[in-house]
Amino acid sequence: MMTALDIFLRLAAWLLLAPLLPGLINKVKAWVAGRRGPPVLQLYFDLAKLWRKGVVLSTAVSPAHIIGPAVAWIAILAAALLLPVGPAGAALSFRGDALLFVYLLAFARFSIALAALDTGSAFEGMGVAREVSYAVLAEAAIITALLTLCVQSGSVSLATMLAPAAGAGAALLAAGLFGVLLAENCRVPFDDPNTHLELTMVHEAMVLDHSGPPLAAILHGAALKLLLFAVLLTEAVLPLGKLSLLQAIGALGAAVLVIAVAVGLVESLLARLAFRRVPLLLTTAFLFCLFALLVAWKGATP
Amino acid sequence: MSGAMNLLIGLAMGLSLLALASSRLPSVIRAAAFQGMILGTLPLLLEEKFHWLVVAVALGTIAVKGFIIPNLLRRALRAANIDREVEPLLGFVPSLLLGAAATIGAAALASELPLRPEHAKSLLVPGAFATVVCGFILLIARTKAISQVCGYLILENGIYLFGLLLINSTPLLVEAGILLDLTVAVFVIGIIVDRIQREFDTLDTRKLTSLRE
């Protein structure tokens, strides 16, 4: 009974808090630009509106077009449940769940890509090709980051991996994971979430043909993924496991807020990178994680 | 003490990778200069007791590597009216990956070497190897004379880092001689850059292979 309540509370927290993060980022961007900006709760209104609308389907699509976003949304939510929250641990935890975490995120991307390819539009295919080619490099970085945490703690379970502080390599790991966060969530140096110009869209091109509830699932899934990466980054760097539950939740909230402000500032101050420069930046993020791994390995064998 | 030193050497290793990844000549020059300045402060940290000779060497290194040489290079860049883009023979991502592989290889190699116990924990040896190899990559993989000079500077920084192992037995005269050599070399290269520019209207050193009598 207690575990059911625990899982329910966690699910509610993830689902309800996730759409807050894009609103915060937009507020920071508006604030830097001197505008008033949309309200922080804008994404909640958008999701409610989309949920009430009907679905417009092309005659060419198969059921995969609808199922894809739903499967992706569930996969991201399952990955979120694997992440521990400070001393409370994760809702689901077993040996090797770090691998499942990586695969769930990859599966979510695969489902959305499949749903996009299902429309048969060449334009969506282009979006998918771009998104997946970024993901190849970003995944190398995140797997290296998880490997670093494995080497540091000598464990392959997220609950014990994320508990201790990352030590000397923490700054490197934070820089690498922040780069991955920006790339995976299609934020500015890699992709512009606001653009709807055909030639420059990456993620937006992929979800162009979705409407109504499936689009709501995709948008909510994207917000969830942003929160997921922010929590992962925080827990990989800060020793939340050593604090009491209330302190840990407070520190986690503050850190996620700082990350949201940082993303907003990056988006306001940086221009989007030229397409051919993106692999260089992703390689840099990968190298940050790799050097964190080197520091962890050198630290382990004195 | 050794923690601060390792941090500085780590920063210098990062800067040589930054020089490999940057696509503009001024930022490559800035990375090489900043690296020289960081390494110039190391003798102050390495020496336990304060000695005016060590301070003089550190100040001289910082002045020459951080200010005089970069200014000479920037002047050459301005005078020869060079396009600021770096033209790589080997792309940025492959050269960055090569540099990272060299850094990891240097760390692995240094742990195999029979070092003296006081040097075993410090990053001096791996940092020296990594910086030398990164300098070599920059030297080989870029076509413009200015970026090759920066590769040469980074290479020299690596050798200097290696020389810090023997800081107690290196006379000041040797240090001063090395700095003088370096300045003269960059000076001469500045003149060569100007000549190449006048002769070929470009700084691409590949054109030099077509020289005839």
Average pLDDT over residues B53-78: 85
Which 140-199 residues of chain B touch chain A by CB within 8 A? none
Residue B88: φ, ψ to 5°:
-80, 140
Q: What is the radius of gyration, based on Cα positions, of chain A? A: 19
Cross-chain CB nearest to A283 (options B96, B103, B104): B96
Question: What kind and span of H or E run contains B106?
Answer: helix B92-112
A276 in contact with B, Cβ within 8 Å: no
Average pLDDT over residues B73-89: 79
ipTM over 0.85: no
**In the A/B pair of chains, how many CB contacts fall below 8 A?**
26
Q: Tell me the pLDDT band of A167, cut-offs 50, 70 and 90.
A: low
B21 in contact with A, Cβ within 8 Å: yes
The total number of structural domains in chain A stands at: 1
Cross-chain CB nearest to B93 (options A283, A301, A302): A283
pLDDT at residue A93 tops 50: yes
Name B116's Cβ contacts closer than 8 Å, sequence gap at least 6: none
* Residue in A265, A268, A187, A252 with CA at minimum distance from that of residue A226: A187
* Residue showing tokens 């995976």: A184
C-alpha distance across the termini of chain B, in Å: 58
What secondary structure does DSSP assign to A246-269, as a single string?
HHHHHHHHHHHHHHHHHHHHHHHH
Q: Tell me the pLDDT band of A302, cut-offs 50, 70 and 90.
A: very low
Tens digits of residue pLDDT in B87-129: 788 888 999 999 999 999 998 888 888 877 777 777 888 899 9
Question: What kind and span of H or E run contains B144?
Answer: none
Amino acid type, B68: I
Task: Find the closest chain A residue to B18 by CA distance.
Answer: A284
Residues of B in Cβ contact (< 8 Å) with A147: none
Cα of B23 to nearest chain A Cα, Å: 10
A279 in contact with B, Cβ within 8 Å: yes
Q: Give the dihedral of Cα atoms A160, A163, A165, A166; nearest 10 deg.
A: 40
pLDDT at residue B204 tops 50: yes
A87 in contact with B, Cβ within 8 Å: no
Range of the domain at A50: 2-300
Q: What percent of chain A has pLDDT over 90?
A: 47
Tens digits of residue pLDDT in A39-72: 999 999 999 999 999 998 888 889 999 999 999 9
What pLDDT shows up at residue B91?
85
Name B18's Cβ contacts closer than 8 Å, sequence gap at least 6: B27, B31
Calpha distance B68→A270 (Å, rounded): 32
